[in-house]
Structure 1
Amino acid sequence: MVSDGLLTAAGTAVYETGAIAERNTTYEVAEYAPGFVLIGDDSGGRGFLVRAGDAATAVFSSDLGDLDPADFQVEAADLAGWLDSVLAQDD
């Protein structure tokens, strides 16, 4: 499956490539979580982030009001595994 962004029935959003820069600017990710990129959210105030420039990065989650990497939680060991779990929410 090829997709530029998605929104699951459970409310998990994976941002379209054209929206990633705007979302990262809006949430000031570069200031509060340097080295990370916000790639989606749960439609309830929790964001999903990956390490910039790391193809093998884990996927982390954080309250969008607290983007301190010390408070991040690991959601999946890698992006592919996380996407599989996101897509399984709709099954």
Structure 2
Amino acid sequence: MSLLPPGGLLTDAGIAVHPAAERPERNETYEVARYAPGFVLIGDDSGGRGFLLRTDDPYSPVFSTDLGDLDPADFTLEAPDLPGWLASL
């Protein structure tokens, strides 16, 4: 996760990468540890879809899901890796 911009990021399309200081609160609010253990919420699309990484994989793909459905079986692969996803924003 060290590749994430510490101050966050907000694109013109509304994609937000949460600032490092806000990530713990966002993960707690959405109960990510309870519903998607082994994942961390890193951002959202400003419309109810969240972006997540695996916590046990330093080269984790980026996944997305409706923030009301944090079942990893329902996650969508957004990008094979974080640098590629960030570059596409």
TM-score (norm 2): 0.92
Question: Structure 1: which 5+ runs fail to align?
Answer: 87-91
* Greater radius of gyration (CA): 1
Q: What is the deviation of 1:4? A: 1.6
**Cα deviation code 1:56-85 (max 9, x no counterpart):** 100000000000000000000000000011
**Cα deviation code 1:21-42 (max 9, x no counterpart):** 0000000000000000000000
Moved more, 2-11 or 59-68: 2-11
**Matching of residue 22 in structure 1 with residue 25 in structure 2:** yes
Q: What is the deviation of 1:13? A: 0.1
RMSD: 1.0
Question: Structure 2: which 5+ runs fail to align?
Answer: none
The code of the aligned residue for 2:46 comes to: S
- Name 1:58's counterpart in structure 2: 61
Greater than 6 Å deviation, 4+ residue runs: none
Q: Distance in 2 between matches of 1:17 and 1:66?
A: 23
- Name 2:86's counterpart in structure 1: 83
TM-score (norm 1): 0.90
